[in-house]
Structure formats: C-alpha cells, structure tokens
Amino acid sequence: MKKSDYFSLKFENDKLVFIDQTKLPLVEEYIETDSYNRIAEAIERLEIRGAPLIGIAAAYALALSVKKDSSGEKFLEAYNRLFRTRPTAVNLFYALEEIKKIYEADLPMKDSYELLLARAIELHKKDEEYCDRIGKNGLSVFKKKSGIITHCNTGKFATGGDGTAFNVIKYGFEHGLVEQVFADETRPLLQGLRLTSFELSKNGIPFKILSDSSSGSLMQTGLIDFAVVGADRIALNGDTANKIGTFNLAVLCNFHNIPFYVAAPSTTIDRNIPSGSEIKIEFRNKNELLYSGSLQIAPESFEVYSPAFDVTPSHLISGIITEEGVFNFPYNFIQ
C-alpha cells in the first residue's frame, strides 16, 4: 500500500471532500459537500474527528456557509451550529473565532466567501506545518530503537498534516528508531483498532493491536520504552484532555517508570483555563457501548457511563511535544 493513496479531507471545486472515518478500515468512502450543516453532522457523527481536524473542517464549513448568502443572520446560524457540535476539543473554537474575525473585519461583506476560504486554507496549511515540526521535535524523546505504545488515533485522520503523536512515531521509524508500535484498540469506538492500525499499515510501520485492558500486562514484559498520545485540550498547567483511557495509560506508565508524552500543536493549549478541572468533558450516546455497529449486545435499559475523554494530570506527563519544542513539567512555557 502506498502512503499517498488516502487523505482525511481536502477542499476542491468549492466543496469539502472527506473520508467517512466511521466506515474504516473496511470501507474507504469519501463524501463531497458544500453544506456547513452536513459538515457539522459529520463532526458529531465522528465521520470527521481528531481535535486539529475538527477545527479545520469547521473553518471550511463556516466559509462555505456564506458562499451563497453572506448575511449576518446566515453566518451566525452557521457559527452557532458548528459551535455546538463537540465541546471538548479547543481547536474547534479557535478555528471558528479565527474565521469570525475575518468576517467581522470584512463589513459590508462584499468578498466574504473568498476571504473566509483563504483563512481556512491558511489554518489547514498551518496545521500541516505544525505536524511536520512536531514529528521532527519528537525525535529527541527517542533514546534508542524503541517499543512505543499509543492510544486512539493521531495521524492524518486527526490532523491537517501527517499527525501529532503519529508523526513522532513516523519520523522515528524513518530514522530507524522504532522497533514496534503497540496501539490500544481504544474502546468503545475502536479508533486505535480501526484508524491507527490503518495508518500504521499504510506507512509500513510494524505494529500490534492490543485491548485497552492489556496495556499493563504489556508494560510488565519490558517491551515498552515510552508512550506517546495526542490531546484535545491542554490547560495552562499542562493537564491534558484526550480520548477516554488516556489517563489509565498514564497511570500505568507512571507505575512502571515508563515516560509518557503528549504531542499536540500550540492551538490545542487553552490559555483561558488554569487546570484540567475546567475542561468540559463530552459524554456520548449510550448506544455506542450497547451496540457494536448495528448489532445490539446489551439491553437498552442498561444505564451507561460513557465520557468521550478523560483528563491526565500534568505531573504524569513526561513531556509535551509541540511545534515549538519539547517542554517538561511544570510547563511554565504555557504561563
């Protein structure tokens, strides 16, 4: 399989084209639309997911909302619709505000679509550059040819470029520094099993999938040299929200004296909150646990606890890898 034969999203012919991530890895289906509402639905349904990619998609969607009608009413309607899609990933709100700034500066809105689209494209390219720099900066965490554990998906399917944590792994592999990658399945929606395995395979990186509950047992074998994960929101003190199960992994790494790294662009840092206690955690529909695809595996009468994210305290994080460098606790660089 070739590296270049898949992509997460692109903008062409005045439409957003994106892969439906819910159907991977068995079906590679691309959707084409110029409807901001359809893009909002895609974000909610996790057809488009990953903090940086959600922000990029929302930027394009907000630009598309004024293609035919640039009135303030239409823009506000689209802004509010996209704002409501998912509450945890800060990149979404950053991107929406960046597009809003351009719109408000363009009164009386003669060239809004072109200006907003240009800014969305800039945000997309900027994230692509950040991914590249994160990958290069991440090389410094390798001390030898390493076994790595990761959680959820942080590659092309989560970003505007080649990824955050995934790009650290990819650069390491290209420099002969990766022995094996172990990817948590990432319950309940299996982003590790479905998406990370897909991307590792596409890039020829040796990997094994494991159940989330196997990670402690794996660490006991001595095969893991460090963990690297992504982030959906980072507080001023370094507390990090990421896919549910990340906190478990960090605690296990701490117990086994295994370094635990977070890789994310600076746009994932929320400079308005001092700690992770202020991060709003999204809760998902209980049927994501009670069903496996269309197959019901438990009664709908069962009550379910289903947060989409958890928060890892900063003292458990060995380093935060951004496009600016690798930073260490107590993360005063954010202050």
Which residues are designated catalytic? 232
Helix/strand/coil (H/E/C) assignment for every residue in the chain: CCCCCCCCEEEECCEEEEECHHHCCCCCCEEEECCHHHHHHHHHHCCCCCHHHHHHHHHHHHHHCCCCCCCHHHHHHHHHHHHCCCCCCHHHHHHHHHHHHHHHHCCCCCCHHHHHHHHHHHHHHHHHHHHHHHHHHHHHHCCCCEEEEECCCCCCCCCCCCCCHHHHHHHHHHCCCEEEEEEECCCCCCHHHHHHHHHHHHCCCCEEEECHHHHHHHHHCCCCCEEEECCCEECCCCCEEEECCHHHHHHHHHHCCCCEEEECCHHHECCCCCCHHHCCCCECCCHHHHEECCEECCCCCCCCCCECEEEECHHHCCEEEECCEEECCCCHHHC
